[in-house]
Amino acid sequence: MFYIRIFQAKIKNIIIYTIKLCIFIINKIINKKTQNNILPSYSPSTIKKSNYMDNKITRLFNIQYPIVQAGMIWCSGWELAAAVSNAGGLGIIGSGSMYPDVLKEHIQKCKKATSKPFGVNVPMLYPDIDKHMDIIISEGVKIVFTSAGNPKTWTQKLKDHGITVVHVISNSKFAIKAEEAGVDAIVAEGFEAGGHNGREETTTLCLIPLIKQCVTIPVIAAGGIGTGRGMLAVMALGADGVQIGSRFVASDESSANIKFKDKIITSNDGDTLLSLKKLTPVRLLKNNFFDQVQQAESNCASSEELTKLLGRGRAKKGMFEGDIDEGELEIGQVAALIKEIKPAHAIVEEIIAEYKLAKEELNKSTW
Amino acid sequence: MFYIRIFQAKIKNIIIYTIKLCIFIINKIINKKTQNNILPSYSPSTIKKSNYMDNKITRLFNIQYPIVQAGMIWCSGWELAAAVSNAGGLGIIGSGSMYPDVLKEHIQKCKKATSKPFGVNVPMLYPDIDKHMDIIISEGVKIVFTSAGNPKTWTQKLKDHGITVVHVISNSKFAIKAEEAGVDAIVAEGFEAGGHNGREETTTLCLIPLIKQCVTIPVIAAGGIGTGRGMLAVMALGADGVQIGSRFVASDESSANIKFKDKIITSNDGDTLLSLKKLTPVRLLKNNFFDQVQQAESNCASSEELTKLLGRGRAKKGMFEGDIDEGELEIGQVAALIKEIKPAHAIVEEIIAEYKLAKEELNKSTW
């Protein structure tokens, strides 16, 4: 009986040990599964990681979010560019409405206002483009967005100075040309965008997949994007980043006149239309000037008559000086979704928060 | 020693049993985790579940995928509608190009060709609309899509006969009107869509969020969607389903002429344009007829002159009879992405597969 008791005790110990071992193994399995699936956001390192959106565009520009603020005439000076860059996006000074010395001043102020990367947009139709490019190079600007012209003209010279070059296009033909010219990325801008626009009228929803098919460099989607949902939609289409204009026009730091900003936040769907197609197609917010253009066009006005009607300084009059009746008000269709003037950093944060929320929502469905 | 041996044997048995029990428990845990996360497609019950996309639209129509095939003139008869319904989407007979007796025949053939739900699209401008509606009701059609007219006119009568009613809109004003009229869902159709189109020219990317803001009923996105990526993009915007036209025109079962189908699959970006805005805006594939219209418009042709130029039967001539030079070819911008004529079920499967792949890709980023 003594032996029996010893063996009973041993059996008990062995069983307890085996059960403990099994519980240990089970716990290990459960923990591993849980770590893989539920808890990544709880560790400080992953929190930091979740605020940096690592992709081709953030790496190209060395920024936090793949959000580029469009360089726009009369709206995007150094204050807006610096504010967007400080918020983790890429701010862009719109040089199209600046004399060379004004551009120089804006670049210098922007450098003081942010230690983060920022860029300059150069419409290549600008008469003083040589002077602009000289200033950009001598001031050590690191990123240039070119538009409205042949991407071959300036790309190599800018790249020789170590500048990252991005070209804006609205069709696959120019996307291929831009890649051949050696640009680092493309902005593919759809029909819904504000201001000057392509003649093909291809919308962002159709344009992004078309452009992704014909180039290998990163593609930044533009036109119709002003929210996190819009950003998620174009990322789903294959875009590597977004360029946002209209939403930033209605920001505190934009140099647009407050009357123009107020008109944007009270506009509805159908309040913009692509206009002046006989000259250069441009998306305008409807006002008295727009009505005059429509009237002239329905009366079959010639290019000369339209040029005369447009006159000089219409865009400055409307967007910068605030003559919202007689000025030219360039804005995108997405204006109808903008309901509040906010600081640029709040806009960036709102877009990122909505992007994440929309992605979570999309993932709620099991399919 | 005898007792010791017996106890040794018992210990051995007990240990083996305990280990087996633990292995059983471990397996149960692993299986449960795996079923939740990785392997749903392996069991027959989960295969069925994973192929059913449960949402507002699939529940409303009792279909497998939230994909509606647009009812189109000259392209979507009973063969296409039945094929799409049999593939798990919602097929729609386009009654706009049918005489009442032809519509009746198509409905009867569709009922024989599929046991699944299908619908009929009725443009309300159609002169024989009363006869069409009588046939729809008497033939026991369960789903009707109305377009091009006041949603109040027919909704109540159709609903009194137990018919699910969906109305097609292109701006928020009519979205609200449609909801007030009591329709069950809305198709929100953007500027990039083929055929007749809204005057606001709002693109799908901007339209869907605008419409989601002003109605509570389900919203089906249309215009520019022909791929799984496009479907994912509009679902990210908040759409509950998609309506796809152009992609199904280039299907085996579409009644479009093979010459029209061939022209679609060889078209590129910029090959369609919204035209005839003085009459009713319609998106056309560029051809000789289109050039004549553009020429007339640039010469400031009156509505009467354009109506005369359009003549009668242009759409039939082009889309059904295959006169691709002189006919009216209605197609969406997404045509540039269509490169192959396929059976409707292959199109549906391809869209679903690409949707899932694009969603996986989107989820590869941690943000």
The CA–CA distances, whole Å, from A27 to A24, A34, A40, B147, B181 equal 5, 10, 18, 60, 58
Kindly determine whether residue A199 and residue B227, on different chains, have CB atoms separated by under 8 Å: no
The radius of gyration of chain B from alpha carbons, rounded to an integer in Å, stands at 26
A366 to B200: CB separation less than 8 angstroms, yes or no: no
Does B262 reside within a domain? no
Check CB contact under 8 Å for B236 and A238: no
Q: How confident is the model at residue A37 (pLDDT cuts 50, 70, 90)?
A: very low
Contact A269 B200 (CB under 8 A): yes
Residues of B in contact with A46 (CB under 8 A): 366
Nearest CA in chain B to A270: B200
* Co-location of B320 and B280 in the same domain: yes
Same domain as B228, residue B117: yes
Residue A237 covered by a domain: yes
pLDDT confidence of residue B26: 57
A12 assigned to some structural domain: no
Nearest-neighbour CA in chain B from A14: distance (Å): 8
Task: Say yes or no to pLDDT of B30 above 70.
Answer: no
pLDDT digits (tens, 9 = 90+) for A61-118: 999 999 999 999 999 999 999 999 999 999 999 999 999 999 999 999 999 999 999 9
Calculate how close chain A gets to B128, using CA atoms only, in Å.
32
Same domain, B222 and B150: yes
Q: Are residues B90 and B154 in the same domain?
A: yes
Residue B199 placed within a domain: yes
Of A227, A234, A363, the CB nearest to B209: A227
Q: Which site among B172, B200, B269 would you substitute to test the A interface, given the most A Cβ atoms closer than 10 Å to its Cβ?
A: B269
User: Cβ distance A110 to A83 under 8 Å?
Assistant: no
Contact between A26 and B25 using a beta-carbon 8 Å cutoff: yes
Domain count, chain A: 2
Q: How far is B20 from chain A (nearest CA, A)?
A: 10
* Amino acid symbol at A197: N
- Chain A: closest CA distance from residue B238 (Å): 8
Cα(B59)–Cα(B164) distance, integer angstroms? 12
pLDDT at B2 over 80: no
Does A329 reside within a domain? yes
- Inter-chain CB proximity B356 and A367 less than 8 Å: yes
**Local confidence band at B51 (pLDDT 50, 70, 90 cut-offs):** confident
* Domain assignment present for A26: no
Nearest Cα residue in chain A from B172: A269
Q: How far is A233 from chain B (nearest CA, A)?
A: 4
Q: How many distinct helices (H) and strands (E) make up chain B? A: 16, 11
Tell me which range, B30-39, B244-253, B296-305, is most confidently predicted by mean pLDDT. Answer: B244-253
Would you call A207 and B54 a contact, using CB atoms and an 8 Å cutoff?
no
Q: Is the Cβ pair A366, B49 closer than 8 Å? A: yes
* Whether residues A248 and A126 fall in one domain: yes
The verdict on A328 and A352 lying in the same domain is no
Report the pLDDT averaged over residues B318-336.
98
Same domain, B38 and B56: no
Higher pLDDT, A269 or A35: A269
pLDDT value, residue A51:
81
What is the overall mean pLDDT for chain B? 91
A277 vs B274: CA distance, rounded Å? 13
pLDDT tens digits along B69-102: 999 999 999 999 999 999 999 999 999 999 999 9
Does A44 have pLDDT greater than 50?
no
CA atoms within 13 A on the CB side of B343: 8
Q: Which pTM value belongs to this model?
A: 0.87
Alpha carbons within 13 A on the beta-carbon side of A124: 16
Closest CB to B18 among A18, A200, A300: A18
**Domain region containing A320:** 266-333
Tell me: do A92 and A210 sit in the same domain. Answer: yes
Rounded mean pLDDT, A343-354: 98
> Residue B86 has what pLDDT?
98
* Residue B127: per-residue pLDDT: 84
With contact defined as beta carbons under 8 Å apart, do A137 and B235 qualify? no
- Asked if A236's CB is within 8 angstroms of B229's CB, the reply is yes
Quick: pLDDT tens for A114-139: 999 999 999 998 888 999 999 999 99
Burial readout A63-91 (b: 16 or more C-beta within 10 A, e: otherwise): bbbbbbbbbbbbbbbbbbbbbbbbbbbbb
Q: Do B359 and A362 touch (CB under 8 A)?
A: yes
CB B171 to CB A269 under 8 A? yes
A160: how many CB neighbours lie within 10 A of its CB?
9
Q: Band the pLDDT of B32: cuts 50, 70, 90.
A: very low
**B347 and B203 share a domain?**
yes
Query: Which chain A residue is nearest to residue B207, measuring alpha carbons?
Result: A269
In a domain, B263, yes or no: no
B59 Cβ neighbours under 8 A, 6+ residues apart: none
Average pLDDT of span B292-299: 94
Is the pLDDT confidence value at A24 over 60?
Answer: no
Contacts of A268 in chain B (CB under 8 A): 172
pLDDT for the residue numbered B46: 39
Task: Please tell me what DSSP assigns to residue A342.
Answer: B
Give the pLDDT of residue B47. Answer: 37
Mean pLDDT lowest for which of A48-57, A91-100, B160-169, B328-337? A48-57
Residues of A in contact with B234 (CB under 8 A): 205, 233
Q: Do B209 and A229 touch (CB under 8 A)?
A: yes
Instruction: Kindly indicate the confidence band of residue A176, based on its pLDDT and cuts at 50, 70 and 90.
Output: very high
Candidate from B29, B201, B269 with C-beta closest to A200:
B269
Question: Does the structure show a pLDDT above 60 at B152?
Answer: yes
Candidate from B40, B54, B191 with C-beta closest to A191 = B191
Tell me whether residues A206 and B190 touch, CB distance under 8 A.
Answer: no
Residues of B in contact with A230 (CB under 8 A): 205, 209, 237
* Structure confidence by residue, pLDDT tens digits, A189-243: 999 999 999 999 999 999 999 999 999 999 999 999 999 999 999 999 999 999 9
What value does the mean pLDDT take over residues B172-196? 98
pLDDT in the model for residue A331:
98
CATH of the domain at A87: 3.20.20.70
A15 CB contacts (<8 Å, ≥6 apart)? Answer: B14, B15, B18
Nearest to A237 among B4, B7, B229 (CB): B229
- Strand ranges, E, within B245-310: 272-275, 282-285
pLDDT at B40 over 60: no
B66 lies in the same domain as B181: yes
pLDDT-based confidence at residue B42 (cuts at 50, 70, 90): very low
> Quick one: pLDDT band at residue A274, thresholds 50, 70, 90?
very high
Whether residues B148 and B297 share a domain: the answer is: no
Unique residue bearing structure tokens 């869209």: B351
| Residue-wise pLDDT tens digits, B209-232 | 999 999 999 999 999 999 999 999
Among A18, A190, A270, the residue with its CB nearest the CB of B202 is A270
Provide, as residue numbers in chain A, all residues whose Cβ is less than 8 Å from the Cβ of B205.
Answer: 190, 192, 203-205, 223-225, 230, 233-234
Cβ within 8 Å, pair A269-B336: no
What are the tens digits of pLDDT across the range A307-345?
A: 999 999 999 999 999 999 999 999 999 999 999 999 999
Instruction: Say yes or no: B158 and B43 in one domain.
Output: no
Contact state of B230 with A238 under an 8 Å Cβ cutoff: no
- Chain position carrying tokens 């003139």: B73
When CB atoms are compared, the residue of A273, A337, A362 closest to B235 is A362
- Cβ of A15 within 8 Å of Cβ of B15? The answer is yes
CB A247 within 8 Å of CB A226: yes
Chain B: nearest CA to A120, how far in angstroms?
Answer: 27
Strands (E), chain B: 67-69, 91-94, 118-123, 143-147, 164-169, 185-189, 195-196, 219-222, 241-244, 272-275, 282-285
Tokens at A298, concatenated = 């329905």
Per the prediction, chain A carries an average pLDDT of 91
Among the partner residues A53, A190, A367, nearest to B50 by beta-carbon distance: A367
- Residue A204: inside a domain, yes or no? yes
At residue A6, the pLDDT reads: 56
